Amino acid sequence: MSKSDLGLPEPLFRAGVMSIAVNYDGFAIDQWGVLHDGRAAYSGAVDCLDRLRAAGKCVAILSNSGKRAGPNVERLRAMGFPPTAYTALITSGEVVWHALKTRPNHFYRSVGDRCLLFSNDGDRTIVDGLSLELVEEPRDATFILLAGVDDSTSRERIDRAFEWGVMHELPLICANPDRTRIAGERLAPSCGAVAHEYELLGGRVHYVGKPAPEIYLSCGEVFAHAGAARIAAIGDSLQHDVVGGEEAGFDTVFVLNGIHRQEFAGVADPATRSARVHALGERYGAMPDWVIDELRW
């Protein structure tokens, strides 16, 4: 049930993170659309992380990336975010890798060891070091692992895999539930949208990443180790960051200049901005506690 259903106050707009930082011990901060656009850091983002760390806050970068943490650390470093700018970086790809390594529950024990992998740029870090056999044909697989889709991903290969997978009840692990991704100046479909197609065909999908709870268990371990009890989740997706953060028990901060930026472009009137945030909250069933234009101190 959304906060608006409960009659709670409208979200509060703030100029930056400084005015709310005193309320929290830890921050779970999204990567794409909040820290950077995939090519360069957003103005003020590096400074904001530095100031949070200087204030003694526990900062966890929480990303629906189908790649493991290591490649994301290097991506952030190249954009000007050194590892000292945050406490930990947790990706859905890293969570999937550990789950396929340790097989912690019945689902992971049931998927078998023959994997049909879809990933960005041919990246295989999500399966490196695992006791898996990578296969090229759907008929040879016991499960499908969807870690990434980009412009090089063959639609024909996806369709063929989905047709076989549904017919033979292959489970699909989606290592990035995002429905939309920022691709430079445009928005493009992401893994979550493709995995949803599999569901609509009748396939079984296991989502790992925001807003699903599995990734928040790893995030909670980081905050518990740091002794951080009051947490705020910062993100640009109502559907993933705000819904997931709220369900994890965190306060939430909605960043306007991300995947929803077109809906707020050129809108300066506070009442109109508030009405649009409220409408998005109603659409996705979650109302943020705070709203900022972009991540800045």
Regarding the domain delimited by 107-207, which CATH topology (the fold level of the hierarchy) does it fall under?
A: Rossmann fold (3.40.50)
Share of the chain above pLDDT 90, in %: 75
Collapsed DSSP state (helix, strand, coil) of residue 117: strand
Reported as type and span, the H/E element at residue 140 is: none
The predicted pLDDT at position 7 comes to 46
Q: Which residue has the higher pLDDT, 4 or 148?
A: 148
Share of the chain above pLDDT 70, in %: 94
At 92, the amino acid letter reads: S
The predicted pLDDT at position 183 comes to 60
The predicted pLDDT at position 70 comes to 94
The predicted pLDDT at position 160 comes to 95
Segment 7-32 shows an average pLDDT of 88
pLDDT surpassing 80 at residue 8: no
Give CA torsion, residues 200, 202, 206, 207, to 10 deg.
0
pLDDT surpassing 90 at residue 164: yes
- Which pTM was predicted? 0.90
The predicted pLDDT at position 2 comes to 45
> What is the architecture, at CATH level 2, of domain 12-93+214-292?
3-Layer(aba) Sandwich (3.40)
69-106 pLDDT, tens per residue?
999 999 999 999 999 999 999 999 999 999 999 999 99
The predicted pLDDT at position 6 comes to 41
> What SS3 string covers 143-173?
EEEECCCCCCCCHHHHHHHHHHHHHCCCCEE
180-216 pLDDT, tens per residue?
766 656 666 788 999 999 999 999 999 999 999 999 9
Q: Which residue has the higher pLDDT, 243 or 154?
A: 243
The predicted pLDDT at position 4 comes to 44
Answer yes or no: same fold for 12-93+214-292 and 107-207: yes
User: So where are the chain's domains?
Assistant: 12-93+214-292, 107-207
The predicted pLDDT at position 87 comes to 98
Collapsed DSSP state (helix, strand, coil) of residue 178: coil
Give CA torsion, residues 73, 76, 81, 85, to 10 deg.
-40
Segment 7-26 shows an average pLDDT of 85
- The span from the CA of 90 to the CA of 101, in Å, is 16
What confidence tier does 246 reach under pLDDT thresholds 50, 70, 90? very high
8 Å CB contact between 123 and 67: yes
Interhelix angle 214-226/92-102, rounded to 10 degrees, is 100
Q: Which residue has the higher pLDDT, 273 or 28?
A: 28
- The span from the CA of 260 to the CA of 222, in Å, is 29
What confidence tier does 268 reach under pLDDT thresholds 50, 70, 90? confident
pLDDT surpassing 80 at residue 1: no
122-136 pLDDT, tens per residue?
889 999 999 999 999
Greatest Cα pair distance, the chain, in angstroms, is 57
- The span from the CA of 191 to the CA of 181, in Å, is 9
> What SS3 string covers 228-276?
CCCEEEEECCHHHHHHHHHHCCCEEEEECCCCCHHHHCCCCCHHHHHHH
Among 47-61, 110-124, 194-208, 253-267, name the one with the lowest average pLDDT.
253-267
Structure tokens, 121: 């740029």
The predicted pLDDT at position 41 comes to 95
Among 263, 228, 282, residue whose Cα is nearest residue 60: 228
